[in-house]
Structures are given as structure tokens and as C-alpha cells.
Structure 1
Amino acid sequence: MDPFDGVLPFGERPALILVDLMRAYFEPDADLYVGSRDCLLAAARVLAAARTAGVPVLHTRVAHSRDGADGGLFYRKATPLRRLHGPLGALMPEVAPAGDEVVIVKQYASAFFGTTLASTLTALRVDTLVITGVSTSGCVRASAVDAVQHGFVPIVVRQAVGDRSAGPHEASLHDIQAKYGEVWEEQAVLERLRESGPAS
């Protein structure tokens, strides 16, 4: 019997976060290319459902100073980050933020580390964070771990996250489901968002 059998319920006040859906992950010649646009298109469908339901939507993107000083050791270690200064750092048009949607600019893997995300979600009285984006083994996993540590239920949308290879992708989803949050199928998330009203 699997000892990791706990379940976190989808709450009453969800928010959606789209993690780092930047050109660097979807340009075939880029170092960070995830291999297809499937997760991007799934994230766009979840985004449309969240907007229709009036669920709060937040986006993240990575941006560093030109010398990378604000990225510290992470910037030194993860050398593809240096290519995000130009067009590859732009968010994809399929999931472009609307005028009233928060865009969190981050320097590290987690959407929570060194940002206002936790205080923003708390102010909105959010209890559940629906997570889409890239990469599954990096920024998605780090954000899911920090979400539960900040008291938000992480719901990772399986079809709406992606990685550069299947091994780390599947291992990370398995690990998140076992210890940190819940991994839901896209259709189930869409149905749940349709039942959600605006967080007021």
C-alpha cells in the first residue's frame, strides 16, 4: 500500500497561475525548447475557462539584470537564463496577460521566492492555486512545493505543463502528487473552474 495517500481538496476560491510561458520554451532552436506546443495550448484553454469564471489569473516570467546579479548562483548555474534578455523572454501570445491580470517577474525557479505572489493570493483570499506552465521539473515543481508551504492547495494541470524530456516531467508529476499537491486532468480542471464564481 502506498503510504503517500493523502488528498488535498480543490477549494472554494481558486486562482490560476501560468508559469513562465515564454518564447524560450516554444522556439525549436532555443535551449529550453519543450518539444511541442501542446502544454501551451492546454494552458490557453484553462486560461479561457478561468477568465470566463471570473477566477483570478496571474502570470510569471523570468527577467534578470543584464549582468545577472539579481539571479545569483541560479543565473550562474542555469546558463540558458542568459538568453532571456531578448525576444525569448516574451510571454507567448496564446496566453498574453489581459490588462487587469497580475504579472509576477521572478529571478528564481519558484513563483513565490522573492516575489509578492503569496501576499497577493492572501489578499484575494485564494485557497487553491491551479498551476500551468513550464518546466514541470523546474519552475512548476518549485512553485507547487512553495504553494503548499504557503498554505495554498496546488492543483497541477497535467496536460498544461511541459518539460524538455519525458523522464523528469513524469517523475515530477509523480512526486507532486505523492507529497505536495494534486495532479488533475485538464478536463476535470475545466469542469471545476466552470463551477467556480469570482473571488470577491
Structure 2
Amino acid sequence: MAHSEYPPMAPSYQSAESNIKLGWGSRPALMLIDVCRAYWSEESPLNLLGNPEAAASPNSMRRLLSAARASNTPVLWAQVRYNKGTMLDGGMQYKKSSGCSIWQEGDTRGMDAWLPGLEAAAEDTVVFKKNPSAFFATTLSSELQLLNVDTLVLCGVSTSGCVRATAVDAVCHGFRPIVVGSASGDRSPAIQNATLRDLDANYADVVSEEEAISKMLADWS
């Protein structure tokens, strides 16, 4: 989404200070966040199919994943998993959002299943988390350092929740977060737009699918 397409915002969001770009570093990786059936199923409490752009976002994710595979860009996935029978490890997040129980180990609804064409390969890194940020209480920062990654291309769901939390923590850990707007989804178009605008102003670069693919296909050697 281009700046000209954002809904009206306060003048401070349109200032030069709110349009500074982090830019791309020397080694990108693609991270897909919480991409599973839970968000694209009418039976799920987290269903976002009511937002057409969010419903279509897996198509953009597939193109990003294809470009990453073609360019040998490292691919990482963040997935939620709870393994305590009483959802004890869901903590306050579960108290606030009981829908998280779909990720309880052994749940029979199958909402944690991969989407067709969006499955982890053997060489990918899968990070399991219990909270919105893929960095919080996980090995993600260490995994990125081992891969010599300095730029993290983010997509997935939901934009206002786990994508945002991961982007904020990425910049706090010294990485360059790049959020692909068309490949990130939320239940509300208004919340999607507001979140992308705020991320772009304060924490990350929000870019088009075309830019992300072009950069991943570049020669980084």
C-alpha cells in the first residue's frame, strides 16, 4: 500500500520524520507468521474471511515463498503451540483470547493445519511460540544470527497482533523489519490500514509484494 492510499491521518504521520526508511540490509530472510487454517475457516473463532483483502493474502504469501525458494532466501515460520492440558502455558494471552485453545496440542478441530502451498520444508526453520511476538521466549533471535540475517521480511496474520508484535520486537533486537502489506491479513480493513500506517511510521518498512520479491531475488553474494 502506497502512502497516497492511506486514509487521512494526523499531520505528524505525514511528516518527514514519519517517513524515514530503514531500508534493506545485506541478508534477508522470509518469516511467515501463524499461517494456518484457523484464519481461513468459517468454523474458526479467528476467521478473517469477511475481509476480502485478508482472504486473498495467502496468494501473496505463496508468491513470496516461491521467490524465497528460488533465491535460497532463508524461510522461517512462526507457529503457536500450547502443550499444557489446562492451557496453563497460554497465560494471560489465553485469559484475554480463549480462541487460542485451537492451538492446544491434541485439539481435534485441525485449525493448526498448514494451508495448501504454504507448508514448511525440511530445510526451513519453524519457531513455536505462545505469545504474539515470534521473538518472545523463543530461539528466533539466535536462529537469525546463525543465518547471518539482518533483514526480516514479515507476512502472515494477524497484522494488528502477531505481525505487529514481531515487527516491533525485530527492530528492538536490531533487525530490519520489512512488512509486506498485501501478504498480511486482519479481520478489519480499518485496523489493517491503521496498523500498517503506524508500523511504517515508527517500527518497520511496509512494502509492496513486488518490492519484496525483487529484493529477495537480488544477488546477495
Name the TM-score, length of structure 2 as normaliser: 0.86
1:27: which partner in 2? 41
1:98 maps to 2:121: yes
Q: 2:191 aligns with which of 154, 165, 168?
A: 168
RMSD of Structure 2 on Structure 1 (CA): 1.3
Structure 1 residue matching 2:184: 3-state secondary structure: strand
In 2, the alpha carbon distance for the partners of 1:91 and 1:118 equals 24
Q: CA deviation at 1:22?
A: 1.0
Instruction: Report Cα offsets for 1:86-122 as digits up to 9, x if no partner.
Output: 3101222321001111111110000000100001101
2:91: which partner in 1? 72
Task: Name the amino acid aligned to 2:146.
Answer: A
Structure 1 residue matching 2:165: 3-state secondary structure: helix
In 2, the alpha carbon distance for the partners of 1:33 and 1:186 equals 23
Structure 1 stretch 124-133 or stretch 80-89: which is displaced more?
80-89
2:28: which partner in 1? 14
2:213: which partner in 1? 190
Structure 2 residue matching 1:42: 3-state secondary structure: helix
Task: Name the amino acid aligned to 1:165.
Answer: S
Q: 1:50 aligns with which of 68, 81, 91?
A: 68
Structure 1 stretch 125-134 or stretch 93-102: which is displaced more?
93-102
**Alignment check: 8 A CA contact 2:19 2:200 kept:** no
Q: 1:136 aligns with which of 154, 159, 168?
A: 159
Structure 1 stretch 87-96 or stretch 138-147: which is displaced more?
87-96
Instruction: Report Cα offsets for 1:7-62 as digits up to 9, x if no partner.
Output: 10111200000000011001122111121531111111101100110010001111
Structure 2 residue matching 1:132: 3-state secondary structure: strand
Structure 1 residue matching 2:31: 3-state secondary structure: strand
Structure 1 residue matching 2:206: 3-state secondary structure: strand
Task: Name the amino acid aligned to 2:86.
Answer: D
In 2, the alpha carbon distance for the partners of 1:142 and 1:193 equals 23
**Alignment check: 8 A CA contact 1:112 1:143 kept:** yes
In 2, the alpha carbon distance for the partners of 1:32 and 1:163 equals 10
In 1, the alpha carbon distance for the partners of 2:40 and 2:89 equals 25
Task: Name the amino acid aligned to 1:119.
Answer: S
1:40 maps to 2:63: no
Higher radius of gyration, 1 or 2: 2
Name the TM-score, length of structure 1 as normaliser: 0.95
In 1, the alpha carbon distance for the partners of 2:173 and 2:122 equals 27
1:154: which partner in 2? 177
**Alignment check: 8 A CA contact 1:20 1:91 kept:** no
**Number of equivalenced pairs:** 198
- Structure 2 portions without partners, runs of 5+: 1-13
Structure 2 residue matching 1:94: 3-state secondary structure: coil
**Alignment check: 8 A CA contact 2:78 2:129 kept:** yes
- Structure 1 portions without partners, runs of 5+: none
In 1, the alpha carbon distance for the partners of 2:70 and 2:147 equals 18
